[in-house]
Amino acid sequence: MRRFLRAAGIAFLIAAVAAACNEVGTNPNTPVAIQLDAPASPSVLLGDTLRDSLGRAAPLHVTVFNFKNDSIAGIPVSFLAVDSTASVSVDPALGVVVGHKLVSNVLVVATAAGLQSIPDTIAVVDTPSVMIAEDSARDSVDFGFAGGLRDTVLTLRVRLLHLTDSVAVPRYAVRYTILHPAPYDNTDSTNVQLVKNGTVAQLVDTTDATGSTNLGLKLTPFTHPFNDSLVVQVSATAPGGLPAGSPVTYVRRINVH
């Protein structure tokens, strides 16, 4: 009799677990996955809150998914900085990040309904005081790709420094804007294209360990004929205004034939 009751109890438990699994699998309001969206900036300024490339306060953001991979609204989320040095604090409910000490990397995570996100990283850096152009402001170039010439990249680099000690400001967002011709489609690889490290088309770059960006105008044998000036403005924002020297304007008179 006891063996029968035990078997019946096990059967009931299996049925209950199966029912629970079935409920999770079919309830569109039940979270099954959580994603911590990439922070609006890879760094936060010392003594400031995390901001986007336009200087607007940007709390961490999470997306919660159901079994259909649809996002679910209204699920309570908690944020956390995995940081024993107290370099960064995160409001657990709002996701507002504040930098307290200079640090190269701090892990941040989010949890919801017993689920934990994949961590991301944030640095705490000094406020950029000055932007320096690392390439000539104006240049004229003539390209004919006959004879098997390879891809060419015309760098448009800037460097961010924190004064008065001229310390490089790494992992800081810098925005590039193509002013002329306008509008300009930088996603079209057959155009003269603004790219990162000679490959990926983008208009926002992040400074490296030396405080420098690495965007440039790419021309390839597949670039459409072009005979005009490209005017590119490079800027960074910081609380209290633009760093000295920002924006930097680059003008490249380009003839592709």
> What pLDDT, in 10s, does the model give residues 19-62?
444 445 678 889 999 999 999 999 999 999 998 877 889 999 99
Q: Residue 37 has what pLDDT?
A: 93
Query: In the CATH scheme, what is the code of domain 30-125?
Result: 2.60.40.10
Q: Residue 55 has what pLDDT?
A: 80
Where in the chain is CATH 2.60.40.10? 30-125, 130-256
Q: Is the dihedral of CA 184, 186, 190, 191 positive or negative?
A: positive
Give kind and range of the element (H or E) at residue 216. Answer: strand 215-219
pLDDT cut 70: percent of the chain above it:
88
> What pLDDT, in 10s, does the model give residues 9-31?
433 333 333 444 444 567 888 99
Query: In the CATH scheme, what is the code of domain 130-256?
Result: 2.60.40.10
> What pLDDT, in 10s, does the model give residues 225-234?
999 999 999 9
CA distance 138 to 186: 20
